[in-house]
């Protein structure tokens, strides 16, 4: 014979005790969370403030390694590192290349577009003796949307007596598109450069200006159609097609 087992129903008093216990437990967790959470937040805030203070002090260190490390650590702190921006700009003139490089990195990470910062980075892009530092500075100007400063720095390089620097400057201007318009005169002059690569890049840059290219560019580009270097003649033709 199969015996059926009926559902057991708790007396009303038992139900009340269970509900009361559950309510009490829930309220206890809520109170504890309200007590503990602010404490955790305050602890994190204090830790972040202490870390920032430590790294800001590191920027004043007599040790170049400490200055560099502090700049790099600050670069990873996001917006919290904004108070370090003015000091980073000052360190763009640091005697150590590695410190200047780290300062550029922090300024870019903070998107610090202060005119003073852009001017200092532009100066490094145009005149830094170290090729890697110069390249970092040029890239930083692009990352900060400082297109005119970038074009002007490239124009400075285009006027250099050093072949590789003129090539670097002309390459940057060929990639600057309409922003190269701020250095039209230098581009036209570059069409007479003794280096074929420079002449070709300047032709490309002028072509990118389209109808905004200076009138005197047409005559020089037309003359370059007979250039002994095929690549120069090709770029001159492309440029004339865009200008016309």
- Give pLDDT, residue 42: 75
Query: 208: phi > 0 → left, psi -120 to 50 → alpha, else beta; which?
Result: alpha
* 202 domain-assigned: yes
Q: Is residue 135 domain-shared with residue 210, that is, in the same domain?
A: no
Q: Is residue 138 domain-shared with residue 166, that is, in the same domain?
A: no
- Give pLDDT, residue 21: 53
Q: Tens of pLDDT along 43-85?
A: 778 887 889 999 999 999 999 999 999 999 999 999 999 999 9
Q: How many residues does the chain have?
A: 244
CATH of the domain at 181: 1.25.10.10
CB 114 within 8 A of CB 82: no
* 188 domain-assigned: yes
Pseudo-torsion of CA 121, 125, 128, 134, nearest 10°?
110
Q: Is residue 130 domain-shared with residue 174, that is, in the same domain?
A: no
- Which structural domain range is residue 127 located in? 48-145
pTM of the model as a whole: 0.78
- Distance between terminal CA atoms of the chain? 105
Question: In sequence order, what are the residues at sequence separation of 6 or more whose Cβ sits closer than 8 angstroms to the Cβ of residue 79?
Answer: 110
When pLDDT is cut at 50, 70 and 90, the band that residue 18 belongs to is very low
Domain finish residue from 85, 118, 145: 145
**CA atoms of 128 and 119, how far apart (whole Å):** 13
Mean pLDDT, residues 102-106? 98
More confident residue, 30 or 215: 215
Domain finish residue from 145, 174, 191: 145
Mean pLDDT, residues 101-109? 98
* 137 domain-assigned: yes
Q: Rounded mean pLDDT of the chain?
A: 88
Q: Is residue 52 domain-shared with residue 83, that is, in the same domain?
A: yes
* 20 domain-assigned: no
Q: What is the percentage of the chain residues whose pLDDT exceeds 90?
A: 79
- Give pLDDT, residue 46: 83
**CA atoms of 89 and 69, how far apart (whole Å):** 16
- Give pLDDT, residue 28: 52
* 23 domain-assigned: no
**CA atoms of 110 and 78, how far apart (whole Å):** 7
Number of domains in the chain: 2
């Amino acid at each position: 014979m199969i015996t059926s087992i009926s559902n057991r129903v708790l007396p009303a008093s038992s139900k009340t005790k269970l509900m009361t216990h559950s309510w009490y437990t829930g309220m206890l967790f809520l109170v504890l969370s309200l007590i503990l959470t602010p404490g955790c937040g305050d602890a994190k805030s204090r830790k972040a403030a202490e870390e920032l203070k430590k790294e800001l002090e590191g920027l004043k260190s007599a040790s170049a390694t400490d200055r560099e490390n502090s700049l790099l650590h600050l670069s990873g702190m996001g917006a919290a590192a904004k108070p370090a921006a003015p000091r980073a700009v000052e360190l763009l003139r640091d005697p150590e290349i590695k410190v200047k490089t780290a300062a550029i990195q922090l300024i870019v990470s903070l998107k610090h577009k202060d005119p003073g910062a852009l001017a200092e980075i532009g100066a490094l892009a145009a005149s830094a003796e170290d090729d890697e530092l110069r390249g970092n500075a040029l890239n930083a100007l692009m990352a900060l949307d400082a297109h005119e400063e970038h074009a002007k720095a490239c124009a400075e390089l285009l006027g250099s007596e050093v072949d590789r620097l003129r090539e670097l400057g002309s390459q940057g201007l060929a990639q600057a598109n309409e922003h190269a318009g701020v250095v039209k005169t230098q581009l036209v002059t570059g069409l007479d450069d003794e280096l074929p690569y420079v002449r070709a890049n300047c032709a490309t840059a002028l072509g990118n200006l389209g109808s905004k290219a200076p009138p005197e560019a047409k005559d020089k580009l037309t003359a370059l159609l007979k250039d002994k270097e095929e690549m120069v003649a090709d770029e001159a033709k492309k440029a004339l097609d865009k200008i016309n």
